[in-house]
Amino acid sequence: MAERVSAARGAPAGGGYWLVALAAALWALLGVFSQRLLSAGVPPTEVAFWRAALSSPLFVAHAARTGALRVRPRDLPALAAFALVGVTLFYASLNLAIDAGGVSLAFVLLYTAPAFVALLAAALLGERLTRTKAFLVALSVAGVALVSASGGEGVRPTPAAVAWGLTAGISYSSYYLFGKWVLRRYAPATVFACVMPVGAFGLLPLVRFEALGAGAGAWLDLALMAVFSTYLAYFVYYTGLRGVEASRAVLVATLEPVLAATLAALLFGERLGALGVLGGALVLAAAVLATFDRGGAASAGATSQVAAAPTDRGRA
């Protein structure tokens, strides 16, 4: 979906790549903030709730300032459905994966999204599942199998961790599947201004408001997560896309899981085992190679960044 934004006027190509890289770094920080909040006793679903709730006013204000706050009433059900999958389910499952298995594992499994795009686009949108796409899906499956069989220091590939990580990947893929439709109709700021509050509302029944007693440090992490790793990440990503091709931007955005794993190693002592590193490399290779497949899933990595993109890859 992001490829339709890349043709717009904006930053020069060189600056565009730097902005995409900055967005990837900001998204990678989600692992740091989430792990710190989980260690402070804030439940995974509550971390997801506050991320969406605290970033919502920023997206609404942005859309209002640019005159992009109005949507057609007939599109509201589709936007609400996307909010429940792309925000409620995606944000919750990513944090549940981090809680169950660690940051590195969660972010590697997150990048199975292009494989899910290929399968779901064939099933739901009628896109042809080419031999290339089938090979990339198989490559991702092999990578997941290796990651799931690998141990490592601070990395716990339990069935729950793998299941939540794959759920994050499949819900992340909704940014491409839905974005192909919605970005023909609305600016990114409009989409996020609508879906973030609805997504937060979807998480509300799972919140016990334990963050209220978690201390100032936890609230600082929540604020930084909402401002920098959600609103600002989406904003700089879309600004960068105006000057570069989306299929090339995804190559830069794939820095996200690499940076997340590096930060987890430095700050939390996480280390993927040898099989996990190999499996992660296969998953990322499939995501990168998908950008060269012109059959439809090519931009899955880039377009998936859109919301949460993302991003979207905030992914205005």
Q: Angle, to 10 degrees, between the axis of helix 274-289 and the axis of helix 103-110?
A: 30
* Buried b or exposed e, range 55-68, using 16+ CB within 10 angstroms: bbebbbebbeeeeb
Residue 196, C-beta contacts closer than 8 angstroms, at least 6 positions apart: 52, 55, 56, 59, 60, 83, 87
d(CA 25, CA 106): 16
Q: State the pLDDT confidence band at 245, using cuts at 50, 70 and 90.
A: low
Identify residue 38 by its one-letter amino acid code.
L
| Torsion from C-alpha of 169, 187, 288, 97, nearest 10 degrees | -20
User: On the CB side of 173, how many CA atoms lie within 13 Å of its CA?
Assistant: 22
Percent of the chain with pLDDT over 70: 84
User: What's the pLDDT tens digit per position in 273-314?
Assistant: 888 899 999 998 888 887 676 554 434 433 434 333 333 333
Bigger pLDDT: 249 vs 261? 261
For residue 183, what pLDDT is reported?
Answer: 73
pTM: 0.86
Q: For residue 195, is pLDDT > 50?
A: yes
For residues 291 and 301, the answer to whether their CB atoms sit within 8 Å is yes
Write out the H or E segment, with its range, that includes residue 147. helix 131-149
Q: Angle, to 10 degrees, between the axis of helix 113-124 and the axis of helix 159-172?
A: 60
Identify residue 42 by its one-letter amino acid code.
V
User: What's the pLDDT tens digit per position in 121-176?
Assistant: 888 878 888 888 889 899 999 999 998 887 788 889 999 999 999 999 999 988 88
What is the pLDDT of the chain when averaged over all its residues? 84
d(CA 26, CA 8): 23
Domain residue ranges in the chain: 2-304
Average of pLDDT values for 95-109? 95
Identify the burial level of 208 via C-beta atoms within 10 angstroms of its C-beta, where 0-12 means exposed, 13-18 middle and 19 or more buried: exposed
Query: Where do we find the tokens 């660690």?
Result: 102
